[in-house]
Chain A
Amino acid sequence: DQQVKQNSPSLSVQEGRISILNCDYTNSMFDYFLWYKKYPAEGPTFLISISSIKDKNEDGRFTVFLNKSAKHLSLHIVPSQPGDSAVYFCAASSVWSGAGSYQLTFGKGTKLSVIP
């Protein structure tokens, strides 16, 4: 039972264009969402996050949009650069898990290829 879904395994975008990566979730208790970026042979690195009290968070070329009613979030990268080529993981968390802490549930990832 996947609570966080990234339905596109891969995405190819031309350099300079916009990349849009999508993520859906099913657990209505999730209220904090993160995007991680992963290069081959490296661990995931944090990219950007958004709290459920917001619908948009922007950091440079990266913007995350959250649609709570649709249980959907997306990551926009503008403009896309070849160095952005990586696997992007969507992750979701609830503030207070049953353990009194918070945990991340990850999607399967989307491999982004930015073509020069």
Chain B
Amino acid sequence: EAGVAQSPRYKIIEKRQSVAFWCNPISGHATLYWYQQILGQGPKLLIQFQNNGVVDDSQLPKDRFSAERLKGVDSTLKIQPAKLEDSAVYLCASSLETRGLTEAFFGQGTRLTVV
């Protein structure tokens, strides 16, 4: 079974530039998450999708971050414009959960450095 795929693995940009990350979840997984992990911290949820609908984006800085999940499969997370404090690893995860609890499976993440 293929895992969660993310690209790119690494990205370095200057502040005020824009960047986009891509995620392909495990086939059949209805729920997709984007997490931000700052160095020394645990992953923090940015946005959660159920199929192609947003379930929770309360912690997403909407003035600069946006995300979409096209056709309920792939997802992109965009930052525009980037700030220095956005330097982090961006993790995508998916789960089979519909009405029951299952664990989330994570991709390898995209390490973003804003200079």
Binds A, one of B14-22, B78-86, B101-109: B101-109
Q: Dominant SS at the A interface?
A: loop
- B69-103 residues at the A interface, CB under 8 angstroms: 91, 93, 97, 101, 103
> Would A89 and B43 be within 8 Å (CB), given that A43-B107, A44-B106, A97-B56 are in contact?
yes
Minimum CB–CB distance for B112 against chain A, Å: 14
CA–CA, A109 and B103, complex, Å: 18
Q: Which of the candidate stretches A11-19, A57-65, A76-84, A100-108 sits at the interface with the other chain?
A: A100-108
Given contacts A101-B48, A102-B97, contact A107 B42 (CB under 8 A): yes
Task: Other than A101-B56, A103-B48, A109-B42, give 4 A-B pairs with Cβ distance below 8 A.
Answer: A95-B101, A98-B56, A101-B50, A106-B44
Residues of B within 8 A of A (CB): 4, 31, 33, 40-45, 48, 50, 55-56, 91, 93, 97, 101, 103-109
Interchain residue pairs with CB less than 8 A apart (7): A51-B101, A99-B48, A101-B31, A101-B55, A107-B42, A108-B42, A109-B41
